[in-house]
Amino acid sequence: MLQAIGLTSTPRRDGPPVVDDLTFEAQPGSVTVLLGAPGSGKTTALRLMLELEAGRGVTYFRGRPLHRIGHPASEVGVLLGDVPGHPARTARGQLRMLCAAAGVPASRADELLDVVGLAGLGDQRIGTLSAGMDRRLGLASALLGDPHALVLDEPAEGLSPREKSWIHGLLRAHAAEGGTVLHTTADPKEAARAADRVVTIDEGRLVADQDVADFSRTRLRPRVAVRTPHAARLAAVVGREARAARRSVEVVAEGGSRLSVYGSSCAEVGDTAYRHGVPVHQLADETGDAGPAADSAGGPGGASGGGPVRAVLPGPASTVAISQLPPPIPVRPARGPLRPLRYELRRLFGVRTTTLIMAAVLIVSAGLSVLLARAGKVPLSDLLVAWPDVLPLPPAAFAAGLLGALSFGDEFRYPALAAGRGTVPRRLGLLMAKLVVSAGVALLLALLAVLADAQALRLVYGEDLVTVPENAPQMAASWAGLSVGCAWAGLLGAGVFRLTVAGVAAVLAVPVLVVPLMQKLLEGPSARSVGGLPGRLRELGWLQWPYETDRWVMVAVRIVAQPVGLALSLSLSALICAYVFTSLRGRARW
């Protein structure tokens, strides 16, 4: 059972709250529709229920609020708007990535693709899906965790009648298995066809809470739809016979050759048309919504010369006990992925962007290395990483920073973990997974770049040019540290400012701004030396390490003491502090 009690949104400065003291419930085994015109507060009500918007009230999912449910994906499936997936990602890749977030096996993705009718389209890109296919993929995303309740916002909006029928059939099947279904709509006729219970709201307040039979009787009017080339003549004779029989029949001209006859039946209208020799092209029973009454000018036989006339028949207001001061609804951080490392790997390699960037950088790096070696004045250490003086960073290091920036930048641009919010949860597990994966990709790219450059140099200039230097371990550690540092700078920069461009700017700021500043600070002879530092650290430490590690400690100190290393360390420290600050500030606001 789903129970919403006293939902009230935070009031706007210039008006009342969008949702005001809304209370209703959705029973298991049935489909409940939240009906209201556009702007009536339907979507805001759903966001309050899912704790995505600040306000007051509480929503219980089988007796527990959402923030007290350990695995929300197994309790409630949500679809707010379209699928916020990367347009280059495949439908199967999107679902497998979300499987890692929900903590379910990857095989669940193929099962859901078959259920929603996309089994043959699993390799199709999200950006190429039609509106109906996109909605099917959204339903598959909502069903990944096998939830008990489904909360959907306008799931059939803008779809063809066939797609609408399929979606409502799927929701009905979920309810038939004991699940709870709640979805919104602005179409009363759709609500009458698809729902077991209809909750009507207007301006954020409850208007009626009825079962579908009462709703159809009190809020909708049955009518006979007629299409004939002699609409005026048929309207006149139907009205004349109704007056003669003293029956209450209303004939409304819908424009052109269409009539709507209220208070009669298909048989009566057909018999009248047959007796008077009026040809009929269409004759069907329909159900029209009882909206605001339109002004009409009466014509012969009660036919209106204007638009359709619809009576206003408001349903009975529901009398439900509402708390005077419901508890507040804080905006809570969305759950991070239950399997963050697997999620991050699928997010990173689920699109071709990663492999294309890596391939392009290796080609550029090899080409630059060959051109630099032709001049004959570049040291071997710069040749192997293709780092000319005109570039602030080697191509591979910059690419590592770009991939790191995309790691968080794509999360904010295509928020798969927080649908409908446009933000990304700042969970420690997700951050650590991104740091580990970005570091691994950076090291792989750094190694491949060195191997590609060395092979290109040997191929063009022969074996004698590339030799193993004596300080190879120190060079390797420095190159690895630079690559990983750039990847983390891009990652944290994009995480703080929520933009990929900001992450790239954070990477470039190290050699362009921070390094020159550090060089000015370090100019001149040093009055102190770091000689003997390992021995002093050994004296202060609780654990005694072998003397062989002294050399490695000094190597690390020299790497960090270099302008680039020191600048990168300071930049990473600043970005980490900024990331933590924004996280704490966001949680205080939640």
Strand partners, 284: 225
pLDDT reading at 35 higher than 90: yes
Q: What mean pLDDT comes out for the span 429-453?
A: 94
Q: In the chain, what are the domains?
A: 2-217 (3.40.50.300), 218-302 (3.30.70.980), 340-589 (no CATH)
260-294 pLDDT tens trace: 888 888 999 999 999 999 999 999 887 665 543 33
361-417 pLDDT tens trace: 999 999 999 999 987 788 888 889 998 888 889 999 999 999 999 999 998 888 888
pLDDT reading at 318 higher than 50: no
d(CA 321, CA 6): 9
183-237 pLDDT tens trace: 999 999 899 889 999 999 999 999 999 999 888 877 777 888 899 999 999 999 9
491-541 pLDDT tens trace: 999 988 889 999 999 899 888 877 677 666 656 555 455 455 445 444 545
pLDDT reading at 170 higher than 70: yes
d(CA 390, CA 366): 17
The pLDDT > 90 percentage for the chain reads: 49
pLDDT reading at 322 higher than 60: no
The sign of the dihedral angle between the CA atoms of 557, 504, 495, 360 is negative
Question: % helix / strand / coil in the chain, to the nearest 5?
Answer: 50, 15, 35
Q: What mean pLDDT comes out for the span 357-363?
A: 96
Q: Which of 301, 319, 296, 238 minimizes the C-alpha distance to 272?
A: 238
DSSP 414: S
pLDDT at 315: 37
pLDDT at 334: 64
> First-to-last CA distance in the chain?
27
pLDDT at 468: 77
426-460 in b/e burial notation, b at 16+ Cβ within 10 A?
A: bbebbbebbbebbbebbbebbebbbebbbebbeee
pLDDT at 511: 82
Give the pLDDT band (50/70/90) at residue 302. very low
Q: Which of 202, 173, 169, 170 minimizes the C-alpha distance to 188?
A: 202
C-beta neighbour count of 464 within 10 angstroms:
7
Q: Regarding predicted confidence, which is higher, 372 or 14?
A: 372
pLDDT reading at 420 higher than 70: no
Give the pLDDT band (50/70/90) at residue 564. low
pLDDT at 301: 35
pLDDT at 481: 85
pLDDT at 353: 93
pLDDT at 502: 92
Q: Which of 462, 442, 445, 466 minimizes the C-alpha distance to 384?
A: 466
pLDDT at 470: 77
Q: What mean pLDDT comes out for the span 5-11?
A: 92
In this structure, the strands spanning 220-227 and 258-262 are: antiparallel
User: What angle separates helix 549-561 from helix 472-497, to the nearest 10 degrees?
Assistant: 50
Give the pLDDT band (50/70/90) at residue 571. confident
3-class state of residue 498 by DSSP: coil
Size of the chain in residues: 590
Tell me how many degrees the CA angle 496-498-502 measures, rounded to the nearest 5. 80
pTM reported for the whole predicted model: 0.76
* Averaged pLDDT of the chain: 82
pLDDT reading at 167 higher than 90: yes
